[in-house]
Amino acid sequence: MMGECALCHASFPKAQATRHVTACLKARAPESGQRVKALHLRVEGKYNPEYWMQFEIASAMTLYTLDDFLRQTWLDCCGHMSCFTIGGQRYSCEPFNEGLSGRREKSMEARLYKAIPPGTDFAHEYDYGSTTDLVLRSLGAHEAALADPEVRILARNVPPKVRCVRCKKRATIVEAGWNGLNLGRCFCKNCADSETDDEGMRLPIVNSPRVGVCAYCG
């Protein structure tokens, strides 16, 4: 569960990530460019928390920007639906409202500083079929030169090492169809050719909680 800081390149256990990144942000040399209010967020897989990130994002951006960042970095395979749940309220990429008594979703147009004040725990779902569930927390706010891009990764888990079940070399391919990283079906390139039926059943082992799901290739 080791991670690496994007600011100073130190490595540390996941449990020390927040303390390290918060200190590193405070010690960061003043950046040139226009400074804006930024949020310091952390995210991890709900069912595979060995995949995690801490990042900063301009607080005037909307939940769409955050959703887009999560898709680009970790999730997007074929443009599935997604939503955040914050304090029991769902914020969907395509809001669905059903009558007066039914489910009421909001859009992702909500600004981050309003929707997720520091200290807020919230959730993200991508793909309502083979869902990748993420849990997030807003850790605090600071100032940063964050115009373009509006999001910057501050720290991230080191990719877990996976061994080929056949020859014990480093595995780079997982067989598709198991809805996740089935350690019993991970192979190196050579063994994957002989152990899996066709190329369509081979997915790359990527550093993401969506590894091995649907057609996710990183």
165 binds Zn ion (CB under 5 A): no
For residue 106, the minimal CB distance to Zn ion (Å) is 25
166 binds Zn ion (CB under 5 A): yes
Residue type at position 82: S
78 binds Zn ion (CB under 5 A): yes
24 binds Zn ion (CB under 5 A): yes
Q: Which two tokens stand for residue 102?
A: 């039914």
**Contact between 150 and 65 (Cβ < 8 Å):** yes
8 binds Zn ion (CB under 5 A): yes
Q: Which residues pair with residue 105 across a beta bridge?
A: 90
Q: Which two tokens stand for residue 53?
A: 């990130």
5 binds Zn ion (CB under 5 A): yes
167 binds Zn ion (CB under 5 A): yes
- Listed in sequence order, the residues at least 6 apart from 53 whose beta carbon sits closer than 8 Å to its beta carbon are 42, 43, 44, 73, 74, 153, 154, 155, 156, 157
The size of the interface with Zn ion (CB under 5 A), counted in residues, is 14
Q: Which residues bind Zn ion (CB under 5 A)?
A: 5, 7-8, 10, 24, 77-78, 164, 166-167, 169, 188, 191, 214
